[in-house]
Amino acid sequence: MTVASPPLLRGDGASAQNRRSTRLATPLGDMLVAVSDDGVLGAYFDGQAHQPDAAWFGARVEQRDDALLDAAAQQLTAWFAGERTDFDLPLAPLGTPFQRSVWELLLRIPPGETTTYGELSASLSPDGVATPGQAQGVGQAVGHNPVSVIVPCHRVVGSDGSLVGFAGGLDRKRWLLAHEESETTRESRLF
């Protein structure tokens, strides 16, 4: 089982030189994975909300013809197969500084664990207390995460533990959380 330390977001979130993409089959349907010279820009399930238009993804290429797309596809395939629990890819999702700060927090949620929107919001406040407007902004940033699975927005749940808000659909979120839970349970039995 491969476990890597979480990747950090690269750059300022504004650059996307030389965009290219590939399709990847997953147990939850196809994903469109897009990269730039800076890193992975996006990983979207077919039909996912907040997905950019087709032109945003750049030229379609075969994953084997692009080192970064190939690495992303291999790591996602291994993750879905239960062969890894994290990713070690350069990430360069485009977003505002606030969105990127939220996405950095998502990268810190360990596999098999969850947090709430309120807890994320509170961790962004100097005094550890979330404001109502900030909590709403955190929810929007989580919902607009462009790098599904790799930046684990599926690990964020409602304050009562309910499954709420996932741009890829709640059935996918349920599957992703169950998959991680079974992998971390299996891994803990090995030690």
Catalytic residue numbers, as ranges: 153
Tell how far CA 125 is from the center of its chain.
Answer: 23
Q: Which amino acid is at 162?
A: S
Cα radius of gyration rounded to whole Å, the chain: 16
Burial class (CB within 10 angstroms; exposed 0-12, middle 13-18, buried 19+) of 10: middle
CA distance 126 to 106: 18
DSSP string, 113-177: --EEHHHHHHHHSTTS---HHHHHHHHHHHHT-SBTTTS-GGGEE-TTS-----TT-HHHHHHHH
